Amino acid sequence: MKNCLLGVVFITVGFCFTPSSTVSEEPVVAPIKNVLFIISDDLRANTLGCYGDKMCKTPNIDRLANEGMLFDRAYCQGTACAPSRTSFMFSRYKGKGQLTLGEHFKENGFYSARVGKVFHMLVPGDIIKGSNGQDIAESWTERFNSQGNEAHTPGDYACLNLNIFTNELEGRQSTRMPHRMFVSVQYDGDGSDQPDHKTATKTIELLQKHGDKPFFIAAGFVRPHYPMVAPKQYFESYPWEEMILPEQRLGDLVDIPEMGLARSRSSINGIGNFPDNQKRMWTAYYAAVTFMDQQVGRILDELDRLGLRENTAVVFTSDHGYHLGDHTFWQKANVHEQVTRVPLIMSVPGYQPGRSESIVELVDIYPTLSELTALQPPDGVEGVSLSPIFKDPKSTVKEGALSFAKGHSWRTKDWAYMRYNDGSEELYDMRADDGQFTNLAGDPQHTRTQQQMAEGHDARLKNAGLPKNKK
DSSP letters of 82-121? HHHHHHHHHT-SSS--SS-HHHHHHHTT-EEEEEE-SS--
The pLDDT value given to residue 25? 47
Taking the whole predicted model, whether its pTM rises above 0.85 is answered as yes
- What one-character-per-residue DSSP string does 138-149 give? GG-SEEE-----
Backbone angles phi, psi at 205, to 5 degrees: -60, -40
CATH code for the domain in which residue 233 is found: 3.40.720.10
Q: d(Cα 66, Cα 249) in Å, to the nearest integer?
A: 36
Q: How far is CA 418 from CA 80, 256, 306, in A?
A: 17, 10, 47
Q: How confident is the model at residue 181 (pLDDT cuts 50, 70, 90)?
A: confident
356-374: buried (b, 16+ CB within 10 Å) or exposed (e) per residue?
bebbbbbbbbbbbbbbbbe
Report how many domains make up the chain.
Answer: 2
Q: Note whether residue 73 is domain-resident.
A: yes
Q: d(Cα 409, Cα 104) in Å, to the nearest integer?
A: 29
The pLDDT value given to residue 172? 59
Q: d(Cα 13, Cα 180) in Å, to the nearest integer?
A: 35
**Lowest mean pLDDT, pick from 4-13, 55-64, 197-206, 356-365:** 4-13
**Lowest mean pLDDT, pick from 32-36, 66-70, 431-435, 459-463:** 459-463
Residues 89, 61, single domain; the answer is yes
Q: Note whether residue 9 is domain-resident.
A: no
Q: d(Cα 244, Cα 56) in Å, to the nearest integer?
A: 12
Q: How far is CA 385 from CA 216, 364, 365, 390, 420, in A?
A: 18, 6, 7, 10, 29
Could you tell me what percent of the chain has a pLDDT over 70?
90
Q: Note whether residue 401 is domain-resident.
A: no
Q: Over 311-374, what HEC string results?
A: HEEEEEEECCCCEECHHHEEECCCCCHHHHEECEEEECCCCCCEEEEEEEEHHHHHHHHHHHCC
Residues 441, 316, single domain; the answer is no
Q: Note whether residue 462 is domain-resident.
A: yes
Q: How far is CA 205 from the centre of its chain?
A: 25
Q: Note whether residue 437 is domain-resident.
A: yes
Q: Note whether residue 289 is domain-resident.
A: yes
Residue-wise pLDDT tens digits, 328-363: 999 999 999 999 999 999 999 999 999 999 999 999
CATH code for the domain in which residue 424 is found: 3.30.1120.10
| Numbers of helices and strands, H then E, in the chain | 12, 19
Give the strand pairing for 407-412 and 415-420. Answer: antiparallel
Residue-wise pLDDT tens digits, 274-287: 999 999 999 999 99
Q: Show the domain range for 150.
A: 34-393
- What one-character-per-residue DSSP string does 177-210 give? --TTBBEEEEESS-STTSHHHHHHHHHHHHHHHH
Beta-bridged to residue 228, according to DSSP, are 184
Q: d(Cα 444, Cα 427) in Å, to the nearest integer?
A: 12
Q: How far is CA 353 from the centre of its chain?
A: 21
pLDDT at 470 over 90: no
